[in-house]
A and B are shown apart, each in its own frame.
Chain A
Amino acid sequence: DAGVIQSPRHEVTEMGQEVTLRCKPISGHNSLFWYRQTMMRGLELLIYFNNNVPIDDSGMPEDRFSAKMPNASFSTLKIQPSEPRDSAVYFCASSRDRGDLNGYTFGSGTRLTVV
């Protein structure tokens, strides 16, 4: 199994541009999570999906952020327009079930820099 695959690994963009981060979860995993990590705030849960349906997006910072999961093997996190304060490492994780505490598998992350 290739694990959770995220792309791109690094993204540098100018303020105001649209940014799309991509994630392929592990096959058979029903839950998918997007996290953001910064030095100041640590790891923050942004949104999670269960069976492709968004369950809780209370962690999404504002309307500039949106996430979709059109099918069981693909999810996107979009920021439009991007701002310098969005610079962070964004992780995608998947698990068999959202309650599967010992089964969260994280991707390698996307390091986003907004200049």
Chain B
Amino acid sequence: LAKTTQPISMDSYEGQEVNITCSHNNIATNDYITWYQQFPSQGPRFIIQGYKTKVTNEVASLFIPADRKSSTLSLPRVSLSDTAVYYCLVGDNYGQNFVFGPGTRLSVLP
């Protein structure tokens, strides 16, 4: 499994754009990059997945450079309710199990 590294914590203010970068230097050709979000007292939930370039949905955008050794989760105009832990995971779609790292604890301040 490709190892991922992301900041332990980040602070932001309401209305700002937040970018969380994840490093995955040994990502394999078949690996996808997936981000999960965990609110306090809840289980993690899927927010976005990508393979290369840019993916956007109603929640976030995911930017992946050509070498795919890193990825950036972008949350536009965060609100207090975006305070959560964000996990970056890397793996293929052929049976690898999810191993969650410590994630990035995002605190959105008023």
| Residues on A facing B (Cβ under 8 Å) | 4, 33, 35, 42-43, 45, 48, 56, 91, 93, 98-109
Contact = CB atoms under 8 A, between A and B. Distances in A.
13 contacts: A42-B100, A42-B101, A45-B99, A45-B100, A93-B43, A98-B95, A99-B93, A99-B95, A101-B49, A102-B34, A104-B44, A104-B46, A105-B45
Interface residues of B, number: 25
Contacts of A35: 100
Interface of B: 32, 34, 36, 41-46, 49, 87, 89, 91-103
A102 B91 CA distance: 11
Contacts of B36: 104
Contacts of A100: 93
A58 to B, nearest CB: 10
Nearest to B95: A99
A98 B102 contact: no
A48 B99 CA distance: 12
